[in-house]
């Protein structure tokens, strides 16, 4: 009997020694297992709601293609990282925060390991809630509205399903070049010329000028021709998911009243087709997260203008992008395991407030009779935004985030970020490969650099831009600190 007790004790001791403190991983000699899972949730709104992304807000009358949240979960045996990419022009922080809270409650994944972003399609209904007009996304509004509540639930469902589908996997990442579809949309004017803005001032840079203008000197900033991506497969080689990152605002060419995921959705479909992953028993998920492109579009003013049929250019851009990703993907060596890490911080930024002179001018503009010609076609809209800005809080706190996936780093910023900011983050990163996802974990408008603020233009106007002039520099510094933490 004593021998039996001793043998049982020894056996139990071995078992205890094999189990890690968290109860999940085996001892140091056991092989490490990398896992991945992916899923989608349909977030298409009902017809009738207003489509946002432009100054007019037409009601949705048709669904051309469904909107989704596309989710990818990665697990190295110790840490889980999750991406949730939402087909919307911009999602308020309180929506993402509530989704993260529910996911953590149901799965245990901490909020700092959940990266959520909007694609910036301009053909979806608003996820801004009541404060879209009142506070322009700067401060939390009342309780979530019906669509926001629906969106939270679908994000939660998508992430939980991606986690449910975790399976042994291998991973690779790479980068290709697709320069033909990115052009800086802000142009300097020749010989220091200026144009009037809605506040009665003068700008030295112009957004989306017509190609027939003769006073254009040069683009005001750079572009990034790269498409970077992460590819995950089952250990047997079956495609699980592919997450790409391209720095292009959106494409457009969507008829009025149509709901569409723009080229982000077409890319997801096309990459699935090119990888031979259609109708798998475990469905493949393609994801396209937007990068720093607040000053970038797909129109080349130096080339002869060409007209495209509805959705034609969307398909062209998505196909070119997918073809290049697949070309590079075929050259990659996949890894059976990589280390995952996450870091997050909150940064306080001052909001821009209108001067007493701007407020007085705005009140005068709004009091004018309709027979008075405006100095700028958007004068009244920005007069209203000027008065709204008086109610903004003095500061806002924004979430900044970074993931490490092996030797790849992913930064996340909650603004429509300028390309030069993304390039600066990439250049200063301690990792061999780095990309940035914009409109992540919230949305607060445009983020011009101080240099671009000096030039003026749409992206710098009060109401379009809502935070201090130095905000981009503070964000760069904070992101660099997060990346160093992940080394």
Task: Tell me the pLDDT tens digit for each residue of 410-458.
Answer: 999 999 999 999 999 999 999 999 999 999 999 999 999 999 999 999 9
Going by pLDDT thresholds of 50, 70 and 90, the confidence category of residue 186 is very high
Residues 332 and 357 in one domain: no
Q: Residue 8's pLDDT is what?
A: 42
DSSP 237: S
Instruction: State the average pLDDT for the chain.
Output: 92
Distance CA 274, CA 270 (A): 6
Task: Judge if 375 and 278 occupy the same domain.
Answer: no
Q: Are residues 273 and 129 in the same domain?
A: yes
Q: Whose CA is closest to 50, among 119, 117, 121, 127?
A: 127
In a domain, residue 92? The reply is yes
312 assigned to some structural domain: yes
Residue 178 and residue 252 in one domain = yes
Q: What is the pLDDT of residue 6?
A: 42
| Gap between the Cα atoms of 340 and 79, Å rounded | 6
290 and 174 inside one domain: yes
How far apart are the C-alpha atoms of 156 and 95, rounded to whole Å? 11
- pLDDT band at 212, cuts 50/70/90? confident
Together in a domain, 279 and 371: no
What average pLDDT does range 362-381 have in this prediction?
Answer: 95
Q: What is the 3-state secondary structure (H, E, C) of 189-200?
A: EHHHCCEECCCC
Q: What confidence category does residue 337 fall into, taking pLDDT thresholds of 50, 70 and 90? A: very high
Grouping H, G, I as helix, E, B as strand and the rest as coil, residue 442 is coil
325/362 same-domain check: no
Q: Is residue 427 part of a domain?
A: no
Is residue 95's pLDDT more than 80? yes
- The reply to whether 327 and 367 lie within a common domain is no
Residues 192-212 have a mean pLDDT of: 94
Dihedral sign for Cα atoms in the order 53, 153, 437, 335: negative
Name the domain count of the chain. Answer: 2
- Tell me the chain's radius of gyration from C-alpha atoms: 24
Domain co-membership, 225 together with 310: yes
394 falls within a domain: no
Range of the domain at 363: 353-389
Instruction: Tell me the mean pLDDT in the region 465-487.
Output: 98
pLDDT of residue 22: 36
Same domain as 159, residue 279: yes
User: Which of helix, strand or coil describes residue 12?
Assistant: helix
How high is the pLDDT of residue 134?
41
Find all residues with CB under 8 Å of 78, minimum gap 6, and list them: 22, 25, 340
Same domain assignment for residues 322 and 374: no
Answer yes or no: is 153 within a domain. yes
Residue 444's alpha-carbon distances to 420, 440, 486, in angstroms, are: 18, 10, 26
Q: pTM of the prediction?
A: 0.92
Mean pLDDT value of segment 338-355: 97
Confirm whether 157 is domain-assigned.
Answer: yes
The angle formed by the CA atoms of residues 175, 178 and 183, to the nearest 5 degrees, is 125
pLDDT reading at 138 higher than 80:
no
Q: Is the pLDDT of residue 20 over 80?
A: no
d(CA 319, CA 271) in angstroms, rounded, equals: 8
For residues 297 and 370, membership in a common domain is answered with no
Hey, is 478 helix, strand or coil? helix
66 Cβ neighbours under 8 A, 6+ residues apart: 42, 44, 261, 265
Q: Is the pLDDT of residue 5 over 60?
A: no
425 located within any domain: no
Of 105 and 22, more confident:
105
pLDDT of residue 140: 56
Mark which of 338, 366, 381 sits at the end of a domain.
338
With respect to residue 408, please indicate whether it lies within any of the assigned structural domains.
Answer: no
For residues 112 and 304, what is the distance between their CA atoms, to the nearest angstrom? 47
């Amino acid at each position: 009997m004593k021998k039996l007790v001793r043998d049982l004790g020894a056996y139990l001791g071995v078992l205890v020694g094999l189990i890690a403190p968290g109860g999940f991983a085996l001892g140091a000699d056991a092989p490490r297992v990398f896992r991945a899972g992916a899923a989608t949730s349909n977030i298409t709104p009902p017809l009738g709601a207003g489509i946002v992304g432009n100054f007019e807000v037409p009601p949705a009358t048709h669904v051309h293609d469904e909107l989704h949240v596309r989710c990818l979960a990665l697990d190295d045996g110790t840490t889980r990282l999750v991406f949730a990419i939402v087909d919307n022009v911009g999602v308020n922080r309180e929506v993402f925060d509530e989704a993260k809270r529910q996911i953590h409650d149901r799965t245990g994944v901490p909020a700092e390991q959940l990266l959520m972003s909007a694609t910036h399609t301009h053909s979806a209904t608003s996820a801004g809630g009541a404060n879209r007009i009142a506070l322009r996304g700067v401060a939390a509004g009342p309780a979530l509205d019906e669509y926001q509540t629906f969106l939270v639930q679908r994000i939660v469902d998508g992430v939980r399903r991606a986690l449910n589908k975790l399976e042994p996997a291998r991973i690779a990442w790479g980068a290709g070049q697709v320069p033909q579809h990115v052009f800086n949309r802000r142009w300097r004017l020749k010989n220091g010329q200026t144009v009037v803005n809605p506040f009665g001032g003068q700008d030295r840079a112009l957004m989306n000028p017509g190609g027939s203008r003769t006073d254009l000197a040069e683009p005001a900033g750079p572009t990034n021709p790269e498409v970077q991506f992460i590819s995950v497969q089952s250990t047997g080689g079956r495609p699980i998911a592919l997450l790409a990152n391209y720095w292009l605002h959106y494409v457009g060419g969507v008829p009025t009243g149509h709901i569409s995921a723009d080229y982000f959705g077409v890319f997801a479909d096309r990459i699935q087709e090119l990888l031979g992953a259609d109708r798998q028993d475990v469905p493949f998920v393609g994801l396209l997260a937007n990068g720093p492109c607040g000053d970038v579009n797909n129109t080349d003013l130096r080339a002869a203008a060409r007209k495209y049929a509805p959705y034609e250019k969307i398909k062209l851009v998505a196909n070119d992008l997918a073809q290049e990703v697949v070309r590079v993907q075929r050259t990659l060596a996949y890894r059976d395991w990589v280390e995952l890490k996450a870091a997050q911080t909150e940064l306080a930024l001052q909001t821009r407030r209108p001067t007493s002179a701007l407020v007085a001018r705005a009140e005068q503009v709004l009091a004018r009779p309709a027979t008075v010609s405006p100095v700028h076609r958007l004068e009244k809209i920005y007069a209203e935004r000027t008065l709204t800005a008086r109610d903004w809080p003095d500061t806002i706190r924004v979430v900044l985030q970074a993931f490490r996936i092996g030797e790849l780093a992913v930064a996340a910023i909650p603004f429509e970020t300028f390309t030069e900011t993304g390039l600066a983050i990439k250049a200063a990163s301690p990792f061999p490969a780095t990309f940035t996802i914009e409109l992540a974990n919230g949305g607060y408008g445009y983020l011009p650099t101080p240099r671009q603020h000096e030039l003026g233009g749409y992206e710098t106007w009060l109401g379009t831009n809502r935070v201090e002039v130095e905000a981009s520099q503070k964000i760069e510094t904070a992101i660099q600190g997060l990346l160093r933490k992940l080394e």
